Amino acid sequence: MLWIGTSGWQYAHWRPDFYAGVPQRLQLEHYSEHYATVEINAAFYRLPERSTFEGWRQRTPADASLAVKASRYLTHVRRLRDPEEPVARLLDRAAGLGDKLGPLLLQLPPTMHAQPEDLDRTLRAFANTDLPEGLHGPLRITVETRHSSWDTDEIRDLLAAYDAALCWADRRSRPITPLWRTADWGYLRLHEGAGKVWPFYGRAALAAWLDRIQENFGDCAEADVFVYFNNDPGEAALRGAESFARMARLRHMRVSRVIAAKRQPG
């Protein structure tokens, strides 16, 4: 399945159109009427209580898959050192999502040079930690490295050993990471397009990403690939997700629920 959504769902500049007339307390429900998946990036800044994750599970449809961006305490404060306690705490909280828990994203600081031993220990912690009640393995972990020192065969092999996906990333409509397939599933974050209107993605850029996905994962009938648009200004993320899903369906790829929103005229 090609899972398509956005990174986050609460943006003030989506209110005049996408959220027109929708109270803030019901924005997740409204978003979930259109998209089956979302990347919860708020967890990066402050890890919510388990009850909050439980609420998100209850407020989303049965077909929902919610990716979670790991707390910055693990990735930016501890920088993957001594990961066992923050990994266990993350899993205890995220267990509130139950079977709606999607991939867990570890976004590393852009100044963080490669630390293979710390990454190995972190991935081992996810693999070996007893899962809290409500969660069932195996977990899906993806790593967004953001420094070229990570782009080595050693890191590629390490990720593959844990079936952890290298997070593909794009900025200005160009890949900024290696396009390695290190797991039987994939993860892509689209940060900023280079279309005629900033930060939208043009059709050629979206088509190129579909080409890359198909080259590595076929039509997504057997493998899951999660794609999140992070270019939120001007509803660019929403519109990009809608276009991406439409183009993928024309290629007869298996695509998650994406329903284009009815927008205000003008």
pLDDT band at 137 (very low <50, low <70, confident <90, very high): confident
Show the tokens assigned to 191.
């940060």
Residue 256 lies in a domain: no
pLDDT higher than threshold 90 for residue 262:
no
Residue 136 has what pLDDT? 86
Total domains present in the chain: 1
Residue 264 has what pLDDT? 62
Residue 263 lies in a domain: no
Other Cβ atoms closer than 10 A to 241: 24
Residue 255 lies in a domain: no
Residue 135 lies in a domain: yes
- 57-69 pLDDT, tens digit each: 999 999 999 999 9
Residue 245 lies in a domain: yes
- 88-134 pLDDT, tens digit each: 999 999 999 999 999 999 999 999 999 999 999 999 999 999 999 88
pLDDT higher than threshold 50 for residue 266:
no
Mean pLDDT across the stretch 188-213?
97
Mean pLDDT across the stretch 140-149?
97
Show the tokens assigned to 85.
């306690």
Amino acid letter, residue 238:
L
Q: Mean pLDDT, the chain, as a whole number?
A: 96
Residue 259 lies in a domain: no
Mean pLDDT across the stretch 154-180?
97
Structural domain boundaries, residue 170: 2-250
Residue 50 lies in a domain: yes
Q: How far apart are CA 74 and CA 14, in angstroms?
A: 30
Residue 261 has what pLDDT? 87
Three-state SS string across the chain, please? CEEEEEECCCCHHHCCCCCCCCCHHHHHHHHHHHECEEEECHHHHCCCCHHHHHHHHHHCCCCCEEEEECCHHHHHHCCCCCCHHHHHHHHHHHHHHHHHEEEEEEECCCCCCCCHHHHHHHHHHHHHCCCCCCCCCCCCEEEECCCHHHCCHHHHHHHHHCCCEECEEEECCEECCCCCCCCCCEEEEECCCCCCCCCCCCHHHHHHHHHHHHHHHCCCCCCCEEEEECCCHHHHHHHHHHHHHHHHHHCCCCECCECCCCCCCC
pLDDT higher than threshold 80 for residue 168:
yes
Residue 266 lies in a domain: no
Q: Give the CATH number, domain containing residue 192.
A: 3.20.20.410
Mean pLDDT across the stretch 15-28?
94
